[in-house]
Amino acid sequence: MTSGRRAPWRVRLRRLLTEAGAVMLGIALLIWSVTPVYNMLLIALDPEEGEVEFSGNLWPPEPSLDSFRVVLTQDARYLEHFWRQLGNSLYIGLTTMFLTVLIASLASFAVGRMRLGQGWLRTGAVVLSNASLLTYAIPASLLVFPFHRIMHDYGLSNSPCAVIAAQVTFASPLAILILLEYGRLIPIELDDAARVDGASSVEVYRRVYLPLTTPALAVVATYALVLVWNDYLYQFALLSSERHMTAAVMQAQLFDDADPPWNAMMAAAIIYSLPPVAIFLVLRRTMTAALTNWWR
């Protein structure tokens, strides 16, 4: 056999092996990503209440959606106020999302597009935006203790506003950074053209800036919502009454109980997990566009 004929054969074998390796890795990643989610589903679909009996089946013998009915009708311990708790979470999440988008877009518009010149105004803006990054240098779990006290001073103890204020503060610096970077992709001449046509700064912000930064705003909004949805510590520490309890805090009570209604709790967990997953799936394309653009 000449080496001329052997080469393609080797190359083909190598490609085949690489491809097979990729498929194996893909399967491994699929199992890795899905197992904990599958576990939630498995428990939720099990009709037995109480202690989970997983008897080696990869699927419950008699899967039942009863636990979801139990959640929807608030018919189990801990879940008596499920809708109100989910409502509380949504209220905090959506308000944080809205305020983060508003505050961050206003600040980044002023800093990035209003030509602050070289005076104290610009210096102030630069100092503020660098200092804001420091917010990330301190672990959130360190700040929760002083927050607990400070909110009392502000008259916000046991108020959802306290959690919202904390989360907006944590979400804003990164949001501003993303918006500033993204804003650089938009020619400032567009603003100038609008101004020549007589638009005021407020109008430029509303009619030019907001529409053009939509993809970045989508990223910022999702980021803020995910931040709230992942949080437990702040919602637990800053909201003490039953009335303001959020879904995340309710779920955590599982650990105080020896025999909780597991399947219903897992069904509740699945329902609670839906909003961010759905938002991510819907905004995925817009977000990737913004992320990759921003990166260049």
Stretch that binds another protein, among 2-10, 66-74, 77-85, 166-174 (CB under 8 A): 166-174
CB of 6 to another protein, least distance (A): 18
Please tell me the distance from the alpha carbon of residue 268 to that of residue 251, in angstroms, as a whole number. Answer: 8
Please tell me the distance from the alpha carbon of residue 226 to that of residue 279, in angstroms, as a whole number. Answer: 10
Stretch that binds another protein, among 3-11, 68-76, 80-88, 284-292 (CB under 8 A): 284-292
Residue with tokens 């046991």: 158
Q: Which is nearer to another protein, 82 or 109 (CB)?
A: 109
Residue 31 binding another protein, by CB under 8 A: no
Q: Which is nearer to another protein, 5 or 115 (CB)?
A: 115
Please tell me the distance from the alpha carbon of residue 129 to that of residue 251, in angstroms, as a whole number. Answer: 37
CB of 64 to another protein, least distance (A): 18
Q: Annotate 108-130 with b (16+ C-beta within 10 A) or e (fewer).
A: bbebbbeebeeeeeeeebeeebe
Its sign, for the CA torsion 109, 115, 116, 118, is positive
CB of 136 to another protein, least distance (A): 6
How many residues contact another protein, by CB under 8 A? 114
Residue 120 binding another protein, by CB under 8 A: no
Please tell me the distance from the alpha carbon of residue 98 to that of residue 95, in angstroms, as a whole number. Answer: 5
φ and ψ at residue 56, rounded to 5 degrees: 85, 0
Please tell me the distance from the alpha carbon of residue 215 to that of residue 275, in angstroms, as a whole number. Answer: 19
Residue 207 binding another protein, by CB under 8 A: no
Among 45, 92, 179, 180, binds another protein (CB under 8 A): 180
Contacts with another protein in 216-275 (CB under 8 A)? 223, 226-227, 229-234, 237, 248, 251-252, 254-255, 262, 266, 269-270, 272-273
Contacts with another protein in 81-100 (CB under 8 A)? none
Q: Which is nearer to another protein, 72 or 233 (CB)?
A: 233
Q: Which is nearer to another protein, 1 or 196 (CB)?
A: 196
Please give the structure tokens belonging to residue 201: 């700064």
